[in-house]
């Protein structure tokens, strides 16, 4: 049995505390009222006057065009009203920032745990033998689904029922009311789907389905160890996993519409669900590889050899390309046809998020492909760690660039709330995953494919610490 070390526990607590402080600083440093924002903007514009408008912040400029505000440095009476509108707009964006920072990290960690669960189910359904020794690692990672789901429910409720945040523009009062000045006919046409009641219920239903499967399969997987019932428990777990995979594909697609695409209610894309899936799946496999490499280095995974690590790296490599394929397919189709209602999505991202938008493609595609192409490198832990850190960073940015342009627009920055949220959820991840791993036998003894998994050998890998007699 694995012992969750006190040092690691301290680390996770420290991360949670520092993260919470960072998030708190983020919430406290938002402007208190629209007047504060006006003051801030007038300071900015007076600085710009000093520089004869040559050093104007590019993002502010683009923003002006999109909202038809003529310019900050024309403070005369004619444009005073527009300035008020602009200040209010910026005020809402700044108010959204700490919420969005938490939301990006929350979605990232929730999604990773969810996709580890889905990958685990797929391994059971495929009756794959190689991954059986990794089952307990995957089960442990899915333990993080519980706290992230609880926090997600709180975010869903605070956004829809209590209106504490304004990340989702369609939740603004009067969006569906033709007499209101906030009325939006396009969104109103979709109100049969995006309405606060349906959105809240759907979100809670998705989380309930995922957590129900996780709870059931974890319980029954441990029961499998001592079952001795002619694989009856194993077959039951197989059947439940088939059902879950079906429900997962449906709920994952709907979830990506509700939680991410819903941030831009005027925009739509058909392969969006797959795109979110690929981004989270490659991150999930990277996390499995990380936890496996760590636990193996602690001697907690006796059945895992270099071939298992090699296969995980191969999945990281393959799904990095799959992500790039979907990312490019979505981008290129929209870029090529250039239909205004679709193109605005990428214009906003390319104008205001150019560095993360382009860096993400390098981090998620070019780097892992070149690093993990060589078969020998795929079983060397530190190569996988370097590649994995870049992949995880890249996919965090991916989620960041999906969420932030819709909620904070040009007011984005990577500071206290963003870093705080990552640390906060990382701390929760470490605590839940390793305490869960310590609670069960690291080897799933009752699985009929266990022996095959322990002897798994990919043909061109020389395992470290094995002589040639161990092969064949």
* Contact window for other proteins (CB under 8 A) among 207-215, 279-287, 333-341, 425-433: 333-341
Q: How far is the CB of 378 from other proteins (least distance, A)?
A: 13
Contact by Cβ (8 Å): 405, 105: no
Of 354 and 471, the one with the shorter C-beta distance to other proteins is: 471
Q: How far is the CB of 269 from other proteins (least distance, A)?
A: 16
Residue 375 interacting with other proteins (CB under 8 A): yes
Dihedral sign of CA atoms 251, 19, 388, 455 in order: negative
DSSP 33-64: SHHHHHHHHHHHHHHHHHTTTTT--HHHHHHH
Residue 464 interacting with other proteins (CB under 8 A): no
Q: Using CA atoms, how far apart are residues 277 and 148, in angstroms rounded to an integer?
A: 18
Contact by Cβ (8 Å): 114, 210: yes
Give how many residues touch other proteins by CB under 8 A: 13
Cα dist from 328 to 47, 111, 322, 334, 471, whole Å? 40, 21, 10, 10, 42
Q: Using CA atoms, how far apart are residues 144 and 148, in angstroms rounded to an integer?
A: 6
**Of residues 201-220, which lie at the interface with other proteins (CB under 8 A)?**
none
Q: How far is the CB of 324 from other proteins (least distance, A)?
A: 10
**Of residues 63-92, which lie at the interface with other proteins (CB under 8 A)?**
none
Residue 467 interacting with other proteins (CB under 8 A): no
Q: Using CA atoms, how far apart are residues 245 and 250, in angstroms rounded to an integer?
A: 9
Q: How far is the CB of 5 from other proteins (least distance, A)?
A: 40
Of 7, 197, 338, 382, which lies in the binding site for other proteins, with binding defined by CB under 8 A? 338
Secondary structure (3-state) at 125: helix
Token digits of residue 347: 């214009």
**Of residues 146-175, which lie at the interface with other proteins (CB under 8 A)?**
none
* Contact window for other proteins (CB under 8 A) among 151-159, 184-192, 199-207, 330-338: 330-338
Residue 460 interacting with other proteins (CB under 8 A): yes
Residue 455 interacting with other proteins (CB under 8 A): no
* 344-373 footprint of other proteins as x/- string (CB under 8 A): -----------------------------x
Of 50, 336, 355, 464, which lies in the binding site for other proteins, with binding defined by CB under 8 A? 336
CA proximity to 127, closest of 452, 422, 387, 429:
452
Residue 382 interacting with other proteins (CB under 8 A): no
Q: How far is the CB of 132 from other proteins (least distance, A)?
A: 22
Secondary structure (3-state) at 267: coil
Residue 332 interacting with other proteins (CB under 8 A): yes
Of 164, 328, 413, 414, which lies in the binding site for other proteins, with binding defined by CB under 8 A? 328
Q: How far is the CB of 358 from other proteins (least distance, A)?
A: 11
Of 54, 230, 467, 468, which lies in the binding site for other proteins, with binding defined by CB under 8 A? 468
Cα dist from 239 to 4, 113, 234, whole Å? 32, 21, 9
Which residue do the tokens 């490198």 mark? 377
Residue 339 interacting with other proteins (CB under 8 A): no
Contact by Cβ (8 Å): 189, 197: no
Of 1, 162, 459, 465, which lies in the binding site for other proteins, with binding defined by CB under 8 A? 459
CA proximity to 383, closest of 302, 469, 314:
314
Instruction: Compute and round to an integer the Cα radius of gyration of the chain.
Output: 24
Contact by Cβ (8 Å): 285, 312: yes
Residue 472 interacting with other proteins (CB under 8 A): yes
Dihedral sign of CA atoms 190, 255, 364, 428 in order: positive
Q: How far is the CB of 349 from other proteins (least distance, A)?
A: 14
Binding region for other proteins (CB under 8 A): 328, 331-332, 335-336, 338, 373, 375, 459-460, 468, 471-472
């Amino acid at each position: 049995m694995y012992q969750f070390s006190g040092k690691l526990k301290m680390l996770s607590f420290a991360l949670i505390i520092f993260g919470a402080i960072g998030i708190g600083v983020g919430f406290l440093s938002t402007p208190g009222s629209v007047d504060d924002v006006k003051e801030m903007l007038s300071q900015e514009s007076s600085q710009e006057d000093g520089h004869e408008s040559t050093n104007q912040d590019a993002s502010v400029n683009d923003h002006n065009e999109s909202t038809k505000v003529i310019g900050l440095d024309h403070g005369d009476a004619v444009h005073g009203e527009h300035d008020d509108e602009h200040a209010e707009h910026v005020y809402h964006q700044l108010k959204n920032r700490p919420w969005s920072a938490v939301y990006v990290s929350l979605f990232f960690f929730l999604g990773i745990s969810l996709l580890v669960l889905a990958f685990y189910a797929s391994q059971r359904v495929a009756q794959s033998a190689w991954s059986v020794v990794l089952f307990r690692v995957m089960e442990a990672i899915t333990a993080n689904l519980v706290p992230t789901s609880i926090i997600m429910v709180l975010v869903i409720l605070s956004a829809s029922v209590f209106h504490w945040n304004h990340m989702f523009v369609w939740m603004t009062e009067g969006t569906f009311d033709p007499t209101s000045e906030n009325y939006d006919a396009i969104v109103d046409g979709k109100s049969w789907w995006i309405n606060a009641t349906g959105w809240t219920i759907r979100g809670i239903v998705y989380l309930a389905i995922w957590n129900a499967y996780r709870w059931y399969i974890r319980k029954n997987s441990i029961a499998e160890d001592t079952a001795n019932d002619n694989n009856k428990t194993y077959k039951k777990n197989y059947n439940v996993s088939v059902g879950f995979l079906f429900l997962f594909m449906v709920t994952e697609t709907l979830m990506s519409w509700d939680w991410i695409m819903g941030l831009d209610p005027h925009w739509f894309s058909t392969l969006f669900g797959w795109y979110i899936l690929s981004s989270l799946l490659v991150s999930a496999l990277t996390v499995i590889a990380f936890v496996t490499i760590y636990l193996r280095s602690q001697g907690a995974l006796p059945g895992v050899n270099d071939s298992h690590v090699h296969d995980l790296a191969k999945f990281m490599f393959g799904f990095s390309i799959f992500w790039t394929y979907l990312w490019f397919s979505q981008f290129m189709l929209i870029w090529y046809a250039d239909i205004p209602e679709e193109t605005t999505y990428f214009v906003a991202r390319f104008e205001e998020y150019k560095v993360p938008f382009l860096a993400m493609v390098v981090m998620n595609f070019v780097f892992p492909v070149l690093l993990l192409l060589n078969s020998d490198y795929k079983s060397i832990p530190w190569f996988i760690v370097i590649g994995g850190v870049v992949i995880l960073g890249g996919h965090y940015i991916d989620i960041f660039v999906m969420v932030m342009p819709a909620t904070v627009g040009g007011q984005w920055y990577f500071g206290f709330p963003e870093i705080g949220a990552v640390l906060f959820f990382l701390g929760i991840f470490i605590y839940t995953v390793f305490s869960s791993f310590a609670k069960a036998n690291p080897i799933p003894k009752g699985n009929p494919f266990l022996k095959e998994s322990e002897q798994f050998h990919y043909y061109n890998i020389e395992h470290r610490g094995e002589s040639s007699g161990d092969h064949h």
